[in-house]
Amino acid sequence: MRDAVFGVLVLLVIIQAVSAVSTQVHVQKYAPDGVTLLAERTVDYRWMEANLPVYGDGTTHYYHQGPVFVDDPEERWNPAEDMNVREKDMGAVKGTDLRDLCELAGGMDPGDRVEIRASDGFVKQFSYENVYDPPLRQGKMVITWYRADEGYVPDYATGMRLVFFADTSTNPWGIHAFGNWDWHESADEEYWYYYIQGGERYPTTTGLSVQTISEIAILQAGPIAEGTPSSGLGPGSLLPVIALVGIGLGIFWRRSN
């Protein structure tokens, strides 16, 4: 019984380790096969703040928009941007433009996608256009490492976090709010995000705000060489998890035998 409890505790430690607040990001660029690594760079938040432009002043708050629970699917987009916005305050944050981080590994070209990976395995993809030429209503895609009421990562509990620095043009309060309709007008349909409840889909931009970001993977567009295996994940993306699980199971096995 004691060994079984120990095994559970080991797995809980593993889960906590792989979902921890991130203080650095590993930027990678892959060939069209999704496997061949072309370039990579790892930087922490201190290096970002000292060497790349900083966005956010630690005073101005930025907001996303949660789901709008109304019956009409069209009204759920809420073009007026006046529902479930101020409740989704991302804080007075500072961070680094995703575009600048991509450039550390060779940058993106039209047709490329970028994959934002959290330490807990959550993944979101975005197009070249939204990273390199975002409309003002969307704003820059900023990897934030500081929040005024929490401080720098790792004290910033959800950092590093993706926050969209939208302008103030749409909402009635004149705040920097990234609304559901902003994303509808800024991104292709394949990148829209929905909260699903009871079989109903509700657009939301809070679901785009990836937390505890640990990896940024540029997925290059283009033909895949014949005979090359294709994968949406880079070769190193799951190695830390596999290693930790292996260590944990090894410890458990030795204690049980």
Instruction: Kindly report, residue by residue over 42-59, the tens digit of the pLDDT.
Output: 999 999 999 999 999 999
Mean pLDDT confidence for 21-33: 97
Closest Cα partner for 30 from 243, 239, 224, 212?
224
Mean pLDDT for 75-89 is 98
Q: How many alpha carbons fall within 13 Å on the CB side of residue 239?
A: 5
Query: What value does the mean pLDDT take over residues 70-77?
Result: 98
Strands (E), the chain: 24-30, 37-44, 62-64, 93-97, 113-118, 123-127, 140-147, 151-152, 161-165, 176-178, 194-197, 200-203, 213-219
CA 65 – CA 184 distance, rounded (Å): 12
Which tens digits make up the pLDDT trace of 6-19? 443 334 434 444 45
Residue 82 has pLDDT above 90, yes or no: yes
55-64, 130-139, 166-175, 229-238: lowest mean pLDDT where? 229-238
247, part of any domain: no
Segment 196-215 shows an average pLDDT of 97
In a domain, 57, yes or no: yes
Query: For residue 59, with 0-12 CB atoms within 10 Å meaning exposed, 13-18 middle and 19 or more buried, which class applies?
Result: exposed
Domain containing residue 224: CATH number:
3.90.420
Beta bridge partners of 163: 142
Contact 97, 161 (CB under 8 A): no
Q: How confident is the model at residue 15, as a pLDDT? A: 41
- What's the pLDDT at 148? 98
**When comparing pLDDT for 253 and 163, which is higher?**
163
Residue that wins the pLDDT comparison between 249 and 135: 135
In a domain, 7, yes or no: no
Residue 162 lies in a domain: yes
pLDDT band at 168 (very low <50, low <70, confident <90, very high): very high
Confidence band, pLDDT 50/70/90 cuts, at residue 226: low
28 within a domain of the structure (yes/no): yes
Distance between CA atoms of 77 and 97, rounded to whole angstroms? 26
Q: What is the pLDDT, as a whole number, of residue 47?
A: 98
Residue 121 has pLDDT above 90, yes or no: yes
- When divided into structural domains, the chain yields a total of 1
3 within domain boundaries = no
Q: Considering the entire predicted model, what is its pTM?
A: 0.82
- Residue 91 backbone class (left: φ over 0; alpha: ψ -120 to 50; beta: rest): left
Give pLDDT, residue 222.
Answer: 87
Is there a domain that residue 186 lies in?
Answer: yes
Supply the range of the domain harboring residue 194. Answer: 21-235
For residue 206, the 8-state DSSP code is G
| Average model confidence (pLDDT) across the chain | 87
